[in-house]
A and B are shown apart, each in its own frame.
Chain A
C-alpha cells in the first residue's frame, strides 16, 4: 500500500490542478483580453496583465454590439419560455400521473416521443409555419416555440416524480371536496418542487443559450438574443477591434456563471438530468 499510495496522491493532485488550469485559463485569458487593445492581445505575452485597463471595451460592446440588451432579451425569452413549459408541463404531468384513464399511457408516450427527436431537424417546417402565421420578429412566436420544445423533458421529469407521491393525498382531498386544480397547486406542486426546479433550470439554460431559432426567426436587432448579437457584432467588426469582442463574450457568460454559483447543486443535477433524459 505504501509506495502506490505515496505516488497516487501527489500525481492525482497535480492532475486535478492541471485540469482546473485547462478549464479556467481560457476564461481568464478572455477576461484579460477584454481589457486590452489589439496590440496587447496579439503580442507574445498572453499572461501579462493589461497595461491600461480599457474598461471602455465593455461600454463599446454594450453600445455598438447591443450585448447588454441581448442579455436582457435572452433572459426574457428564457424566463417566459420556461414559465410556459412549466405551466403546461405541470398540468399535463398532473393529469398523466394522478388519474387513470384510457389514453393515459398512449398520451405519455406521445409527449415523451419528443425526447428522441432532435429539434434541429425541424428547421424548415417551423420557419415555414412561422411565416404563414406572420410570426417573424414576434416575441410570442419565439416564446411559444421555446416553451413547447422544452415540454417533452418537463413532462417526462415531473410526471415521473409525481407518480412517486402518495395517492392517499388525492383520496383525502377528494373526500374533502377539494377540486383537482386546488389539489394540484396547493398540495402536489409544493411536493414536486425538486423535479419542477430541475426541469426549470434546464429549460432556462437551454433557451438562454439558443442559437438556431433566433437565427431563423428574428431579423430585428432589437430582438437578437446573445448568440445572434455576438455573431453579428463580430461579423460587422471582423477582427479590427478584438477587445470589445472579448468584452461581449464576458458579458454573455457572466450571468450564467453567477446563476451557477448561486444554485450550484441544482444546476449540476438539472443539466446532467437533461443529458441523461433518453
Chain B
C-alpha cells in the first residue's frame, strides 16, 4: 500500500516522536542507571567520581531505605484492606437502582480529579494538632482524648497519609469496579433471583465471582501505583517527621536535592525503575497464569 514511498512516510511519522521520546525518556533511564555508579554532589563544575557499587551498598545498608519500602508496603496493604472493600461498595451503590445514584457517583469521584497538591495542603491543615478540623470534630463528639498531631508523630504519620491517599482514590477505583459490574449481563441476575440470590447473596454469589478480571487489574494497580506515590507525601510531610513517611521517590528527592547525594539518589532511582518493571511483569504473568488454569 502507498507504494515504495511507504518508508518515507513512516520515517516522517515516526522519527520526531522517536527522537523526542528517546531523548527525554529513555536516555534519562540509561543515565540514572549509569550515574548510579558515580558519586556526585550536584555541582556542574565538579566532576563525578566512579565509585562502583558503593551507592548500592550504602542504599541496602541504610535503615531509611528499608523504612521507605515498609511505607510502600503500607500503601499496598491499605489498597487491599481499605480501598478495595470501600471502592467496591461504592461501585455497587452507583450501579444500583438507588435514587440519587448519579449524584453519589459525582460526589465519590470528585476527590480523584482534584489537584493532588491542593488536596494534600487541605488535609495538612485539617490534620494540624492545634486547631485542625479533625481534632476539632473529635472534640465536638466527645473524643477529645483521641486528638493527635496527626502528621507530626512519627509512629502514626504514615498511616494518616495512607488514609488520606485512600480518601483521594476511592472514587477512581470505584469507577474501575463499576465498569466490571456493568459488564455482567442482566439475565444472570434474573436467573439468580429465581434461585434466591438477592441482596447480599446476589453480590457474593453472582457479582464478585464474575469480577475476577477486575480484581486482578486492581491488584496489579495496587502494587504499581503504590511505588509511584510522591506528591501526597512531598506536600503533606516532605518525608518527615525525621524520615518517618519517606517512600523511595521522596527519599530520592531528599537525598539528591536536599543533601546533594546524587549518586545515592540515582541508585534509588535505578531501584525504582527495576522494581516498577519487575512488579508489572511479574504480576501480569502471575495473573495471566491463574486465568489460564481456569
**Contact surface of A with B, Cβ cutoff 8 Å:** 1, 4-5, 8, 12-13, 15-16, 19-20, 22-24, 26-27, 29-30, 41-42, 44, 46, 88-89, 91-92, 94-96, 99, 101, 107, 110-111, 113-118, 120-126, 128-129, 131, 144-145, 147-149, 151-152, 155, 170-171, 174, 179-180, 205, 208-209, 211-212, 216, 226-227, 230-231, 234, 239, 242, 245-246, 249, 252-253, 256-257, 259-261, 264, 267-269, 271-272, 275-276, 278
Contacts and interface: CB of A to CB of B under 8 A. Distances in A.
A30 B123 CA distance: 10
Interface in B139-169: 139-140, 167
Q: What are the 10 closest A-B residue pairs judged by CB atoms, nearest first?
A: A227-B117, A125-B31, A125-B28, A121-B269, A20-B107, A42-B131, A121-B272, A88-B17, A95-B13, A272-B175
Given A1-B198, A123-B252, A148 B24 contact: yes
A15 B1 contact: no
Contacts of A95: 9-10, 13-14
Given A8-B199, A15-B93, A91-B17, A117 B172 contact: no
A118 B110 contact: no
B42 to A, nearest CB: 9
Given A95-B14, A124-B256, A246-B122, 14 more contacts: A5-B198, A22-B167, A23-B110, A96-B14, A99-B6, A110-B26, A115-B280, A118-B272, A131-B44, A148-B21, A209-B231, A231-B235, A246-B125, A276-B221
Interface in B236-294: 249, 252-253, 256-257, 262, 265-266, 268-270, 272-273, 276-277, 280-281, 284
A116 B225 CA distance: 10
A92 B121 contact: no
B31 A252 contact: no
A27 B110 contact: yes
B281 to A, nearest CB: 8
Contacts of B7: 101
A8 B269 contact: no
16 contacts: A5-B198, A15-B93, A16-B93, A22-B167, A23-B167, A88-B17, A99-B9, A116-B277, A117-B29, A120-B252, A121-B270, A125-B266, A227-B117, A230-B117, A257-B110, A257-B114
B121 A12 contact: no
Contacts of A278: 220-221, 224, 280, 284
A233 B247 CA distance: 26
Contacts of A170: 1
Contacts of B199: 1, 4-5, 8
Question: Chain B binding site: helix, strand, loop or mixed by DSSP?
Answer: helix
B1 A91 contact: no
Question: Chain A binding site: helix, strand, loop or mixed by DSSP?
Answer: helix
Interface of B: 1-2, 6-7, 9-10, 13-14, 16-18, 20-21, 24-29, 31-32, 35, 44, 86, 89-90, 92-93, 96, 98, 100-101, 103-119, 121-123, 125-126, 128, 131, 133, 136-137, 139-140, 167, 170-173, 175-176, 179, 196, 198-201, 217, 220-221, 224-225, 227-228, 230-231, 234-235, 249, 252-253, 256-257, 262, 265-266, 268-270, 272-273, 276-277, 280-281, 284
A12 B224 CA distance: 32
A145 B227 CA distance: 21
B220 to A, nearest CB: 6
B249 A120 contact: yes
Contact of A118 (B16, B196, B273): B273
A212 B230 contact: yes
B200 A272 contact: no
Given A15-B89, A111-B21, A118-B276, A271 B14 contact: no
A117 B117 contact: no
A19 B277 contact: no
A117 B176 contact: no
Contact of A226 (B104, B109, B115): B115
B23 to A, nearest CB: 8
Contacts of A118: 227-228, 249, 272-273, 276
Contact of A208 (B25, B107, B115): B115
Contact of A123 (B114, B175, B269): B269
B17 A116 contact: no
Given A20-B107, A92-B13, A111-B21, A272 B176 contact: yes
B103 A20 contact: yes
A242 B125 contact: yes
Contacts of B111: 23
A129 B128 CA distance: 39
B269 A107 contact: no
Contacts of A4: 198-201
Contacts of A227: 115-118, 231, 235
